[in-house]
Amino acid sequence: MSAWDRVTTPTPTPAQCSFTQVLITSSLTVGTFSCPGVPRRTEVEAAPNPEIVLARRGAYVREDEAGAVYIDRTVAAFFEAARPYRIVHPRPRPDVTTVLSLKEPEAVCASLEVRVRAGRCFARSAVRASPALHLRHRELLRALSDHDRCCLPVEEAAVRLASCAVALNHDVEAELSAPQATRTTDAVDVAFAVAELLNARFRGEVSLADLAAPTGYSVFHLCRMFQARMRTSIHKYLTLVRLEHALEALADTDAPVAQVALEHGFSSQSHFTTAFTRWTGESPAAARRRIRGRAGATGARRR
């Protein structure tokens, strides 16, 4: 039994995947892909066009020629057209993703003055999502909920998000999918299993002992494997998860900043504000106003 299996207990439920197109233009398509989290491993698939994939709920693993990548809200994933891949669901929980399908990938790259190999659109298959990308994603989701889907503001928000994602894809500092120093199967399983636990328990206190116990490894070995595979420390990863969830709450609810802070694992409003400002370059209140834009006067939708 692997470390992964010791952490997860699959209980599949019958359901179907669905894809809903929410914006169709001559340059790109935006859709929402919902999956029940089963089967454990899918058949080989391939995207018809280059795709930018941003998780909104849940998490899964993509296996392709670049290796295995754990895709959650902290990651931007890129699917080249016709490149084979499989999806692995570590837990049978639903996931929802935003998918931007690029109909004119050459135009996107040309506008950013980036070069890629012939027949390719992306330089990397997955990168750590930047604060700017998170904000652009939230702005698009907000625009889709507040405006007619054929409105110019929605299309502009989609173009800005796509451009931001492709630019980030060519930033070597955001690299996640290069060959790793630790390549053993168990090291991959352990790192992804810890990420699963952190995504499930980000609202409360978490200790290294809590994370290490289900895997059967010492806290020292755990930290080393996680850092090698995920390219960040456990604490920094947990903070990113908390910040992204908090950003969603700022965009989609009217909850006071202090409440958002406490509900997302931060010890105080000041701690949250400091971390958020360091992450995005602006305060939580400023980010909320910018995401809502003119629509902010109408108030946010409640959960």
pLDDT in tens, 9-41: 344 444 588 999 999 999 999 999 999 998 889
Q: Which pTM value belongs to this model?
A: 0.84
Look at the chain and count its residues. Answer: 303
Lowest mean pLDDT among 28-42, 49-63, 178-192: 178-192
Q: Which residue has the higher pLDDT, 146 or 251?
A: 251
| CA distance readout (Å), 6 to 92, 167, 189 | 15, 39, 10
Q: What is the mean pLDDT of residues 127-142?
A: 94
pLDDT(52) > 70: yes
CA gap 204, 71 in Å, rounded: 22
Q: Tell the burial category of 194 from Cβ atoms under 10 Å away from its Cβ (0-12, 13-18, 19+).
A: buried
Across the chain, where does the E strand assignment appear? 18-24, 28-35, 51-57, 60-64, 67-71, 75-79, 86-88, 95-102, 126-128
Q: Would you state the pLDDT for residue 188?
A: 67
* CATH topology classification for 3-9+17-174: Jelly Rolls (2.60.120)
Banded pLDDT at 94 (limits 50, 70, 90): very high
Buried b (16+ CB within 10 A) or exposed e, 46-77: ebebbbbbbbbebbbbbbbebbbbbbbbbbbb
CA gap 115, 13 in Å, rounded: 44
All residues at 6 or more sequence positions from 237 whose CB lies less than 8 Å from its CB, including other chains: 74, 195, 198, 226, 230
Within its chain, how far is the Cα of 116 from the centroid?
Answer: 23
Strand partners, 100: 30, 52
Q: Would you state the pLDDT for residue 145?
A: 84
CA gap 1, 27 in Å, rounded: 47
pLDDT in tens, 230-266: 889 999 999 999 999 999 999 999 999 999 999 999 9
pLDDT(298) > 70: no
Q: Tell the burial category of 7 from Cβ atoms under 10 Å away from its Cβ (0-12, 13-18, 19+).
A: buried
- Identify whether the C-beta of residue 101 lies closer than 8 Å to the C-beta of residue 89: no
Banded pLDDT at 176 (limits 50, 70, 90): confident
Strand partners, 23: 30
Average pLDDT, the chain: 86
- Identify whether the C-beta of residue 193 lies closer than 8 Å to the C-beta of residue 215: yes
Query: Amino acid identity of 63?
Result: E
Of 97-111, 136-150, 177-191, which one has max mean pLDDT? Answer: 97-111
Place of tokens 């790192």: 191
Q: Which residue has the higher pLDDT, 179 or 235?
A: 235
pLDDT(303) > 90: no
Banded pLDDT at 92 (limits 50, 70, 90): confident
pLDDT(121) > 80: yes
- Identify whether the C-beta of residue 302 lies closer than 8 Å to the C-beta of residue 287: no
Q: What is the mean pLDDT of residues 69-75?
A: 94
Q: Which residue has the higher pLDDT, 9 or 110?
A: 110
Banded pLDDT at 187 (limits 50, 70, 90): low
Of 89, 57, 51, 56, nearest to 70 by C-alpha is: 89
All residues at 6 or more sequence positions from 73 whose CB lies less than 8 Å from its CB, including other chains: 54, 55, 56, 59, 129, 199, 241, 244, 245
